[in-house]
Amino acid sequence: MEVRGLRHAYGRRDVLRGVDLDLQPGRLSGIVGENGAGKSTLLKILAGELRAQRGTVRHPGRFGYCPQEVVLNDALTVRQHLLYFKAAFQLPDLEHAEEIMDVLRFSGYADDRAGVLSGGTRQKLNLTLALMHDPQVLLLDEPYQGFDWDTYRRFWDLAARLRDAGRSVLVVSHLAYDIERLDELWRLDCGVLQPYETAGA
Ligand SMILES: Nc1ncnc2c1ncn2[C@@H]1O[C@H](COP(=O)(O)OP(=O)(O)OP(=O)(O)O)[C@@H](O)[C@H]1O
């Protein structure tokens, strides 16, 4: 994915002031920034959910987007969500989705309605829906929010496996935990991306 010169403002509030970013296959990348720095705005633009006022986003293939806010239908079961997305992604089966559910340890919830799931389990479903079509580029906005420690570690193992399989994985967070797991890390500060090290953190 190649991003050049992204600029975006909400009214008079400049949020992105010229963001350039290259996401390479087989790289696990991170972006950190304070609350309100513009991380979700950037990911929404990369995912095509929001149109930037200036700049370009180019990507060669399919991508997966895990938004910060979980978008589920409370009346549908976990399995019904998977079937809905299977149809949308035109997948032959749910094999990959079931593997991810197994890694995240929530296969036992397949017949539960989303409305009764715990926050962490809703997030597991959110992440599974973003990954189940095996996208080449993964855009993950605070993907481990609500995860317990064990699930958090499993998430990173999964992210590393996807990277090793040649996917581009971008993880956005307000906290720079576990930065040694990343191949590269930027800080979104004052509307531009800086290498994390040069930010002096
Ligand atoms: N739809 C909107 N209309 C107006 N302002 C917005 C809108 N969405 C975001 N903002 C503002 O833009 C700024 C960046 O918001 P954004 O959600 O991108 O930040 P963030 O880095 O993801 O924050 P957090 O870490 O708290 O999730 C904030 O000041 C926010 O209030």
Instruction: Identify whether 137 is part of a domain.
Output: yes
ipTM confidence: 0.96
Q: What's the total number of domains in the chain?
A: 1
Name the one residue in this structure whose structure tokens are 């002031």: 17
pLDDT digits (tens, 9 = 90+) for 17-54: 999 999 999 999 999 999 999 999 999 999 999 999 99
Is residue 201 a part of any domain in this protein?
A: no
179: nearest Cα among 29, 37, 59: 29
* Secondary structure element (H or E) that encloses residue 8, with its range: strand 2-10
Q: Considering the domain boundaries, does residue 44 fall inside one?
A: yes
Q: Which pair of tokens denotes residue 38? A: 């513009």
Q: What are the tens digits of pLDDT across the range 92-135?
A: 999 999 999 999 999 999 999 999 999 999 999 999 999 999 99
Say if 200 falls within a structural domain. no
Lookup: tokens for 114:
């989303």
For residue 196, the CA-to-ligand 1 centroid distance in Å is 21
Instruction: Return the residue whose CA atom lies nearest to atom 29 of ligand 1.
Output: 36
Distance from the CA of 142 to the center of ligand 1, in angstroms? 14
Pocket of ligand 1 (CB under 6 A): 10, 15, 33, 35-41, 68, 174
> In angstroms, how far is CA 40 from the centroid of its own chain?
10
CATH number, domain with residue 56: 3.40.50.300
Grade residue 198 by pLDDT with cuts at 50, 70 and 90: very low
Let me know if residue 55 belongs to a domain. Answer: yes
Q: What is the domain range of residue 91?
A: 2-195
CA of residue 164 to ligand 1 center, whole Å? 32
Which residue has a Cα nearest atom 25 of ligand 1?
35
The bridge status of strand 54-58 relative to strand 2-10 is antiparallel
